[in-house]
Structure 1
Amino acid sequence: MTTTVKFKRLGDHLLPLPSRGNEFAAGIDLAYAGEDTVIAAGQRALLKSGYAVMLPAGHYGRVAPRSGLAYKHGIDVMAGVIDIDYRGEVGIILFNSSEVDFSVNFGDKIAQLIIEKAAYFAPELVDELPETDRGEGGYGSTGSSAL
Structure 2
Amino acid sequence: MKPVVLRVKRLDATQWMPLPAYASEGASGMDIRAAIHEPITLAPGEFRRIPTGLSIAIPPGFEVQIRARSGLALQHGIGMVNAPGTIDSDYRGEIGVVLINWGERPFRIEPGDRIAQMVLARVYRAMWVESAALEETQRGSGGFGHTGIE
Matched, 1:97 2:84: no
The Cα of 1:52 is off from its aligned counterpart by 0.4
Name the stretch that deviates more: 47-56 or 136-145.
Answer: 136-145
What TM-score do the two structures reach when normalised by structure 2?
Answer: 0.88
Partner Cα separation in structure 2 for residue 103 and residue 129 of structure 1: 51
Structure 2 gap segments, 5+ residues each = none
When the two structures are aligned, how many residues end up with a matched partner? 145
SS, match of residue 69 in structure 1: helix
State, as a whole percentage, how many aligned pairs show the same letter: 37
The Cα of 1:91 is off from its aligned counterpart by 0.5
What TM-score do the two structures reach when normalised by structure 1?
Answer: 0.90
Partner of 1:6: 7
The Cα of 1:87 is off from its aligned counterpart by 0.5
RMSD: 1.6
Name the stretch that deviates more: 19-28 or 119-128.
Answer: 119-128
1:20-64 CA-partner distances (Å, limit 9, x unpaired): 111221011100001311111112111000000111221101000
The Cα of 1:135 is off from its aligned counterpart by 2.4
- Equivalent residues in 2 for 1:111-126, closer than 5 Å: 111-126=116-131
Partner of 2:45: 42
The Cα of 1:122 is off from its aligned counterpart by 3.1
Q: Post-superposition, which runs of at least 4 consecutive aligned residues in structure 1 deviate over 4 A?
A: 124-128
1:2-31 CA-partner distances (Å, limit 9, x unpaired): 222111100112212111111221011100
Change (3 A) 1:105 1:143: same
Name the stretch that deviates more: 118-127 or 64-73.
Answer: 118-127
1:73-93 CA-partner distances (Å, limit 9, x unpaired): 111123210000000000101
Partner of 1:32: 34
Structure 1 gap segments, 5+ residues each = none
Partner of 2:91: 86
1:83-142 CA-partner distances (Å, limit 9, x unpaired): 000000001011111121111111000001001110211345555444432223233211
Matched, 1:18 2:20: yes
Partner Cα separation in structure 1 for residue 102 and residue 60 of structure 2: 35
Partner Cα separation in structure 1 for residue 131 and residue 105 of structure 2: 49
